[in-house]
Amino acid sequence: MAKKNRFNPDQLLIISKHLGTRDDIANALSLYFIDGLSMYAAEKSAGIPKNTLRKKIKRIEKELAYIERFNQASTEEFQLKLV
């Protein structure tokens, strides 16, 4: 699972908008990542169903892993062209 301090507020806003995250779930993400609440407390405070936050965090992790793989492949391809 993602580390709590993985994102700053601007990064969290960008990834939330990119994924079309509802406002209540975005609020729970902020409560979890920025304010440090537990998943349960963040879900309860934001008024979203149990496990919604966990599912959204997994979706964010998959998206970030894809971006990292893309960047790595692009970097390797660029380096090969320099040789």
**pLDDT for 1 beyond 60:** no
Confirm whether 20 is domain-assigned.
Answer: yes
Confirm whether 3 is domain-assigned.
Answer: no
How many domains, the chain? 1
Q: Are 31 and 42 in contact (CB under 8 A)?
A: yes
Confirm whether 74 is domain-assigned.
Answer: yes
Confirm whether 2 is domain-assigned.
Answer: no
> 38-82 pLDDT, tens per residue?
999 999 999 999 999 999 999 999 999 998 888 888 777 666 666
Distance (Å, rounded) from C-alpha 22 to C-alpha 55? 13
Confirm whether 1 is domain-assigned.
Answer: no
Give the domain extent around 70: 9-82
pLDDT score, position 3? 55
**pTM: predicted TM-score of the whole model, two decimal places:** 0.80
**pLDDT for 23 beyond 70:** yes
